[in-house]
Amino acid sequence: MSAKTQHNNILLAVVGFTAVVIIVALIGYLTLGQEPEIIQGEVEVSEYRVSSKLPGRVVELRVKEGDFVHVGDTLAILEVPEMDAQKRVVEATGEATKALKDLTDAGARQEQIQGAYQLMQQAKAASEIAQKTYNRMQNLYNEGVISGQKRDEAFAAYKATEAQVKAAESQYKMAKNGARKQEREVAAMNAQAASNAVDVVSSLLRETVQVAQVEGEVSEVYPKVGELVGLGSPIMSISMMNDVWGTFNIREDQLGGMKIGDTFTAYCPAFGKDIELKVYYIHDQGSYAVWKATKTNGQYDLKTFEVKARPVGKFEGLRPGMSLIRKD
C-alpha cells in the first residue's frame, strides 16, 4: 500500500470519527439537553399546638396519635394540686367577705356580731394556711424543685387572703359599731374583689382540662401519662386537615414569570393523579438559598423562592409530606 493511500485512509478515519462525535453530541443536545428540570414540592397543613397555662402532671390522655378530634373534645387532663388548694382558700375567704357584707347591709344584732367575729377568725385561719403554702413553695423554689411561676402564684394567693383578713376585721368592727354609708360601699367592693379572685382561680383551673379548639387529626402527642409538663409546654399537635397546600422551592430562573393568582398543574405520585394548584404566596428564601455562580464570566447568582399553592378544587386524601411534582 502506497503512502498516499495510507494518508487518505487515516484522513477518512479522522473525518469519520469527528462526524460520529458531532452526531452523538447533537443527539445528546436534542434529547438530554432539552429535558426539563424536575421541581418537587410537598404537601403541608396548618398545625395547632395544645399547651397549658399552668405547669402540672398529666393524669389522663383522652386521645392518641391518628385520632380525629372536633372542637370541644377533651384531649388531656392535668393535675395541679396547688391551684386546687388555692381555690378552696379563696372560696372560703370570699364566702366570709360576702357574709360580712350582708351583715353590714342588714345592721347587726348580737348574734350577727358573733357571726362576724367567727367569719373573721375563719379568714385568719385561711390566711395562715395560705402563708404556710407560700412558705413551702418558697422553700421548694429555693431548692430548684418548682418554677418561679408557682412560687409567685402562692404568694399572690397569700397576699389576697391577707387583704381579705383586713376586710373581715373591718366588717367585724362595723358590725359592732354599726355601718355608715361609706363603710357599706367598702364592704360591697371587698365582696366584689373576693368574687373576682374566685373567678380568676376558677378560670386557671379550667386550664387543667385541655379541650380541642380546632378540628383536625392528632399528629403527635409529646408527654406520657404521669409526666410533668411545664408552663406553656406543648402537650400535643393537631393537624388541620382542611387547611392544605403545596410548598415548592423554585430557583428564580425557573419561575417563568409566576405571580400570585397563577395556576399550574402538579403530579401527585401517591395517587398517580394530576392536581391543579393556585399560587397564593411567593417569598424570597434569603441569602442561604442562593445559587452561586461558579464562573465570573457571563454568569450570575440565582435566588430561590418559596412558592405556596392551594388546590383549586377538593382533592381528598392529601396528607402532609406527600410529594408534588410541578408540570410545565
328 residues of the chain, pLDDT tens digit each? 555 566 555 656 655 666 666 775 666 555 554 556 788 999 999 999 998 877 788 889 999 999 999 999 999 988 876 555 555 555 555 565 666 556 555 555 666 677 777 888 888 888 888 888 888 888 878 877 777 777 777 787 778 788 788 888 877 777 776 555 555 565 566 666 655 555 555 555 667 788 899 999 999 999 999 888 887 789 999 999 999 999 999 988 888 889 999 999 999 999 999 999 999 999 987 655 555 555 554 566 788 899 999 999 888 899 999 999 998 6
182: phi then psi, degrees, rounded to nearest 5: -65, -35
**Cross-strand bridge partners of residue 190:** none
Task: Give SS3 for 168.
Answer: helix
For the full predicted model, state whether its pTM sits above 0.85: no
Q: What is the DSSP letter of 53?
A: S
Q: How far is CA 85 from CA 90, 146, 155, 209, 213, in A?
A: 9, 16, 13, 17, 28
17: phi then psi, degrees, rounded to nearest 5: -65, -40
**How far is Cα 19 from Cα 13, in angstroms, rounded to an integer?**
10
Q: What is the DSSP letter of 258?
A: -
Count CA atoms closer than 13 A to 183's CA, side-chain side: 21
